[in-house]
Chains A and B, each alone.
Chain A
């Protein structure tokens, strides 16, 4: 059974048109991550939540925003997608060290195409 679910698997959006990617989890993990992965590159951390605390990476463009309304859901908003934002977007979850095992579970990703 899928534990980290990303919807949709494939998303096509127009240049400059806001788009939202979603991630849900059934693991009740308190840490959630968003990564961007471009072709033939390693996943790049955009930001992550530790419970409700939002942690932005210093080099994440302002064009990328995130929301976490509750433990189970997290959203990635791209306010004005450019051609350079075409990539696979990966969501992941983990527990924190205090809670025990800290392995991260990844979703299958959403492949974003910008036209």
Chain B
């Protein structure tokens, strides 16, 4: 069952910030929010993950609302190479460690 809801597609101008929303209203206390992206014909690539605090790394920032029911992935200065499908995944870190993909958002960065 899908645990996340994302818009199917978004556009962003090159150099501008891309803000990708994700709704995960049924998230439970031990579930993390992960973001991956998949550039055409390649394997998915890890971007960032978080539990309840905002996170930042060299690729992106992750903003999680206080109630943890939604989050936003921010690419601060989008480039053409950021054109990809972005997946928001809710993942419980039990022993089985499943990673289940939802439908994702297709981000198109234009010049």
- Assess the B96–A42 pair: CB atoms within 8 A: no
Query: Which residues of B, 53-96, contact A by the 8 Å Cβ criterion?
Result: 85, 87, 91, 93-96
Residue of A nearest to B38 (CB): A43
Residues of B within 8 A of A50 (CB): 95-97
Identify A92's interface contact among B43, B49, B93, CB under 8 A: B43
A12-46 interface with B by 8 A CB criterion: 31, 33, 35, 42-45
List A residues 75-115 near B (Cβ within 8 Å). 90, 92, 94, 96-97, 102-109
CB <8 Å contact, B97 and A96: yes
B46 in contact with A104 (CB, 8 Å): yes
The SS class assigned to the B binding surface is loop
Please count how many residues in chain B sit with their CB below 8 Å of the partner chain's CB atoms: 26
**Is B100 an interface residue when CB atoms closer than 8 A count as contact?**
yes
Residue A63 at the chain B interface, CB threshold 8 Å:
no
Residues of chain B having any CB pair with chain A under 8 Å = 32, 34, 36, 38, 41-46, 49, 85, 87, 91, 93-104
Using a CB–CB cutoff of 8 Å, the interface residues on chain A facing chain B are 4, 31, 33, 35, 42-45, 48, 50, 55, 90, 92, 94, 96-97, 102-109
